Structure 1
Amino acid sequence: MRAEGLQGAVLVVKTSSTTDHRPARAGRTGETPERDFVALGIALAAIVLFVGTAGAVIPNLVKAWHGMAAPPDKALTNALLLNIALVLLGWHRYKALAAELASRRKSEGEARRLADLDHLTGCHNRRSFTALLGDLLSGLERREQALAAIAVDLDNFKKVNDLHGHQMGDEVLRNTAERIERLLPDGAILARLGGDEFVCVVPYHPQVPDRIDQLTARMIEQVGRPVHRDAVAVDVTISIGIASSRQIDDMRNGTASAQKLMHKADIAMYHAKKQGKNRFYWFEPSMENELRFRNELEAGIRRGISRDEFRPYYEQQIDLDTGKLVGFEMLARWESPEMGVVGPDIFIPIAEEIGVIGEMSERLIAQAFEDAKEWDAELTLSVNISPVQMRDPWFAQKLLKLLVQHNFPPDRLDIEITETCLHENVGMVRSMITSLRNQGVHISLDDFGTGYSSLSQLRSLPFDRLKIDRTFIAELKEEEQSAKLVDAIVAMSDGLKLPVTAEGIENEVVLEALQRLGKMKGQGYHYGRPEPAAEVLQRLGQQDLLAKEKRDNVTKIDFTKPEPNRGGDSRAG
């Protein structure tokens, strides 16, 4: 985009300038006067006194020097000399104070300038940028121009610091600021708000917003180039959100209007991150509603954990060869007083992002241990572990501690981890798997086929079972290619001596196709939807699969009769 297309709208010096855009603040009373009037007054008084005294003494001194008169009075002569000393002293003091005050004014001006800049990148900081943007917005109502606030955030910047150190992180931030600034047209302002967040404001004509699109596209391209330091190259991407001053009702509120515009740009930037990062979006009102709902969900999740609103539900696992119930997979459900029963696809990603997935999972697992102790000792319990939890080096110890606290047999527990965990830190994953298996816990590789597991990883990591992802299983009735893929996975598992579990069995057609492929376990809605603990106990009582001490205490029901509507659709997933 050519810069001349945006020139002339607003006259603002770009970030690289050291000019202070705001008027200098007046000093406090008595601290920074233009002159020291006390010292100057003393000097002037001494000069007046000198004139009066010299008029009487100097003529007599001249006459006495030529022998024409008697020497002048000694007191007057001494007074004249003292008067001269006072004049010199007062003038010297005045000059010294004037120089000191000039130096102080210069230092205060420099301090004010530095207070408005980010020390690392040289950009404006949040305080000065907000004030400047407020002034620009206030003056816009008299013009036909508009301002675009562009919020920029580096994607996965924390990994740069973690992997390469903070010096490399600082280098990336400096390079980002320089690359963005080189692209900005005249009249634009760039600021670093803190961390890896930047924002710039660019004037544009409302009828040609595509100029802003072109600018942001070039930002993504230029910032995405590798940053080199000490023979190390780091690739970074950015997510951008854009908001227009035309989206603000009142632009005359100065700082308040600036903060509203920046907030809208932030919302658009977070939307860009949610949509996959390394892209830009203009702000739309629906994004604000979505963010508000997201914030309500976050608050609700935190409250729900403390109030035990997250409950374990259980999905049956069946031996496809015999049709016998062999265990259950624990699935989380949120029994929210406001929203009803919420599926994990809604709250699990948010819990992972806000850092509460560990606490939530530990509570659910502890409850599942207590529930499963009332089942027959032959039934297993499968628990899916979040990749976020696998980053915790103490996860294995925490899980083993829960097993001991609840006196649950380790050989009845099957931990399921996804393929994505293998690519983040395979060494840590191997250590955790080994620790758990040494205590008798079984480990399954979940969602197999959707990631990038290699045969070498399957052979080197001590897995006990593979779970074929439901996307392949669900298409068995329609896609011949999917049947071949599932057949290949089953054949490979046989070669590796790893038993298989098939997820997502929805009907008899899929079941029959799997039965032809060999022995395996299966689960899916064909056998029923996930149920809370109380309903599981009723089902197990019907099948005489309760723990011995529970068999005589549970009322058996006939599952062949229609059940009352328990809102099964809301628990799907």
Structure 2
Amino acid sequence: MASNGPAGTGKASARQDHDLVTLGIAFAAIILFVGTAGIVVPNLVKAWNGQAASPDVALSNALLLNIALILLGWNRYKALTEELRTRRVSEEEARRLAQIDHLTGCHNRRSFTGVLADLLVGLERRERALAAIAIDLDNFKQVNDLHGHQAGDEVLRNTAARIQRILPEGGVLARLGGDEFVCVVPYHPQVPNRIDQLATRMIQHVARPVESGEATIDVTMSLGLASSMQLDNVREGTSSAQDLMHKADIAMYHAKKQGKNRFYWFEPSMENELRFRNELEAGIRRGIANGEFRPYYEQQIDLETGELVGFEMLARWESPEMGVVGPDIFIPIAEEIGVIGDMSEALIARAFEDALSWDPKLTLSVNISPVQMRDPWFAQKLLKLLVGHNFPPHRLDIEITESCLHENVGMVRSMISSLRNQGVGVSLDDFGTGYSSLAQLRSLPFDRLKIDRAFISELKDQEHGAKLIDAILTMSDGLKLPVTAEGIEDEVVLEALKRMGKMKGQGYHYGRPEPSEQVIERLRAKNLLAKDGHDNVTKVDFTSREARSGGGKLAG
């Protein structure tokens, strides 16, 4: 809007100056009219009565001209006045629109910060307090992805309306952006449970399905609460407002971490936890760039013969600040911040280089994140790595979890087929912990099942654990799928598995995961290194193999 900048202000000022000039001309014409009319009108009346000669023509024309100028000036003045009034109304509407969220009609971030700052400055801390409630819809991205942005907008409008209806007097709601809302509510510091009750009502009131076209969308949300009583100084205006909103935001993220669809009050320990999380995120990004993530290898053994048949690659973060960090800490964060693909590809490339120095009969197993399986080009990327490192595809086995099967079975099937057509093995990892059906196992071309360590550990002292594993083995025999048991930690479990049939196994009973240098020493002692330090394999022609197998490229 022009009125919001110096140019707009200058134009408005010029209009006002021009308006005053026009009004001045009109007044001057009126004064001139009074003077001229005082001479012409009496003479004109006398002339009409035959008492005098006709008035001077020049004076008469001057009078008529004055009348025309007065009418012209007055009309122009009225037009300019109406134009300025319309402009003022437009500017006020523009300022109002700049302060609200166009989708939901509530405040936006900029205006809410100012409102909250004013409320904090005028707060009598001993008599009342303000609670900021940060609100974030759970899994809102899936709503947009599955139902479209129009449905997402409908969810946001419904959410804002539902919150507005239960806000107490004096409460203010704002949409900060996306699916993030925040509201501020005054309360008496001696009865903070009223805010707890309000938060509970919000969760119950908002967590109702939203109808959008033919779709019924379930909505839940996570809340974070913070009180002005937790601020060091409430009279710092915008700074205090931003501090209070930040504390509520931290509490909201804590609620999400604890399972979503709930609320938490801010506590200082949450801020320390979030700061550590941010440091981890920054460290992970630096670590990927600096090559701090390294492949470690866990032995895989043929339980019947006790022979070493391969290794599973496991990621470790050799952090300069924290030492060796396990994947249970950094993998979930890497998935959330979208760097798991880069990390995994770098680890796999290093693992290919390491495995080329092993005996060619040893296999390499690699875990694939469910996030990577959402990438329609994942199979091509993996095949490109195989070609680039001249690694034989028949020595590679990728492991995917059951959770991957429920997100996009069609795309997963296409990926598996594409990889198997090139000779890569595909295993279903952590079998028994998800929801895969027999129909999926029959329709998806897996090469192997891996029994989750949670079932294997029950072999030590629980009879039903043995029955469950025996049932899994019977099913795998029917599907003609070999089995790997993970989590073998002692001789008791090992002997129990040996009695159940042929399978591969891995676990701490055979040793902890080792870096490449220790693996080389182990293989040297067993005379299981490649004769000249690498496989000496002929480079595989993937194109011709794919043509012979009838395709395998991903659709899209």
8 Å Cα contact 1:243/1:264 also seen in 2: yes
Report deviation, 1:411. Answer: 0.8
**2:370 equivalent in structure 1:** 387
Report deviation, 1:34. Answer: 11
Report deviation, 1:214. Answer: 1.5
Q: Which amino acid aligns with 1:518?
A: G
**1:101 equivalent in structure 2:** 84
Structure 1 residues 492-534: Cα deviation after superposition (integer angstroms, max 9, x where no partner): 2122221111111111122122112111111111111111101
1:453 equivalent to 2:413? Answer no
Q: Give the distance between the partners of 2:314 and 2:469, measured in 1 at CA.
A: 24
**Bigger CA drift: 142-151 or 95-104?**
142-151
Structure 1 residues 256-276: Cα deviation after superposition (integer angstroms, max 9, x where no partner): 211111111111111111111
Q: Which amino acid aligns with 1:393?
A: P
TM-score by length of 2: 0.92
Query: Which of 291, 294, 299 in structure 2 is aligned with 1:316?
Result: 299
Q: Please give the residue correspondences for 1:552-567 in structure 2 after superposition, counting only pairs within 5 Å.
A: none
Report deviation, 1:418. Answer: 0.3
Q: Which runs of 5+ in 1 are unaligned?
A: 1-24, 552-573
Q: Give the distance between the partners of 2:220 and 2:416, measured in 1 at CA.
A: 34
Q: Give the distance between the partners of 1:481 and 1:247, measured in 2 at CA.
A: 53
Query: Which of 48, 52, 60 in structure 2 is aligned with 1:69?
Result: 52
Q: Please give the residue correspondences for 1:518-529 in structure 2 after superposition, counting only pairs within 5 Å.
A: 518-529=501-512
1:265 equivalent to 2:224? Answer no
**1:10 equivalent in structure 2:** none
1:425 equivalent to 2:386? Answer no
Q: Which amino acid aligns with 1:208?
A: V
Query: Which of 119, 125, 128 in structure 2 is aligned with 1:136?
Result: 119
Query: Which of 331, 339, 343 in structure 1 is aligned with 2:326?
Result: 343
TM-score by length of 1: 0.89
Q: Give the distance between the partners of 2:248 and 2:358, measured in 1 at CA.
A: 54
Structure 1 residues 160-217: Cα deviation after superposition (integer angstroms, max 9, x where no partner): 1111111111111111111111111111111111111111111111122221111111
Q: SS where residue 64 of structure 2 aligns? A: helix
Q: Which amino acid aligns with 1:513?
A: A
Q: Give the distance between the partners of 1:43 and 1:383, measured in 2 at CA.
A: 90
Q: Give the distance between the partners of 2:374 and 2:466, measured in 1 at CA.
A: 35
1:326 equivalent to 2:309? Answer yes
Structure 1 residues 95-146: Cα deviation after superposition (integer angstroms, max 9, x where no partner): 1111111111111111111111111111111111111111111111366111
Report deviation, 1:353. Answer: 0.5
**1:403 equivalent in structure 2:** 386
Q: Give the distance between the partners of 2:442 and 2:460, measured in 1 at CA.
A: 31
Q: Give the distance between the partners of 1:97 and 1:253, measured in 2 at CA.
A: 44
**2:271 equivalent in structure 1:** 288
**1:228 equivalent in structure 2:** 211
1:169 equivalent to 2:159? Answer no
Larger helix fraction of residues: 2
**2:546 equivalent in structure 1:** none
Q: SS where residue 141 of structure 1 aligns? A: coil
Q: Give the distance between the partners of 1:246 and 1:485, measured in 2 at CA.
A: 55
**2:347 equivalent in structure 1:** 364
Q: Which amino acid aligns with 2:204?
A: E
1:354 equivalent to 2:305? Answer no
Q: Please give the residue correspondences for 1:105-254 in structure 2 after superposition, counting only pairs within 5 Å.
A: 105-141=88-124, 144-254=127-237
**1:374 equivalent in structure 2:** 357
Q: Give the distance between the partners of 1:335 and 1:400, measured in 2 at CA.
A: 27
8 Å Cα contact 1:329/1:382 also seen in 2: yes
8 Å Cα contact 1:507/1:526 also seen in 2: yes
Structure 1 residues 404-451: Cα deviation after superposition (integer angstroms, max 9, x where no partner): 111111111111000100111111111111111111111111001111
CA root-mean-square deviation: 1.7
Q: Which runs of 5+ in 2 are unaligned?
A: 1-7, 535-556
Deviation >4 Å, runs of 4+: 25-29, 31-35
Structure 1 residues 221-240: Cα deviation after superposition (integer angstroms, max 9, x where no partner): 22221111222111121111
Identity %: 79
Q: Give the distance between the partners of 1:387 and 1:335, measured in 2 at CA.
A: 24
8 Å Cα contact 1:320/1:520 also seen in 2: yes
Query: Which of 289, 296, 306 in structure 2 is aligned with 1:306?
Result: 289
**1:547 equivalent in structure 2:** 530
Report deviation, 1:358. Answer: 0.5
Q: SS where residue 452 of structure 1 aligns? A: coil
**Bigger CA drift: 187-196 or 208-217?**
208-217
**1:516 equivalent in structure 2:** 499
Q: Which amino acid aligns with 2:173?
A: L
Q: Which amino acid aligns with 1:277?
A: K
Q: Which amino acid aligns with 1:242?
A: L
Q: Which amino acid aligns with 1:93?
A: R
Report deviation, 1:28. Answer: 7.9
Q: Give the distance between the partners of 1:142 and 1:421, measured in 2 at CA.
A: 52
Q: Give the distance between the partners of 2:494 and 2:20, measured in 1 at CA.
A: 100
8 Å Cα contact 1:141/1:251 also seen in 2: no
Report deviation, 1:84. Answer: 1.6
8 Å Cα contact 1:447/1:469 also seen in 2: yes
Structure 1 residues 271-306: Cα deviation after superposition (integer angstroms, max 9, x where no partner): 111111111111111111111111111111111111
Q: SS where residue 475 of structure 1 aligns? A: helix
Shift of the 34–142 alpha-carbon distance from structure 1 to 2, 3 Å rule, reads farther
**2:5 equivalent in structure 1:** none
Equivalent residue pairs, number: 527
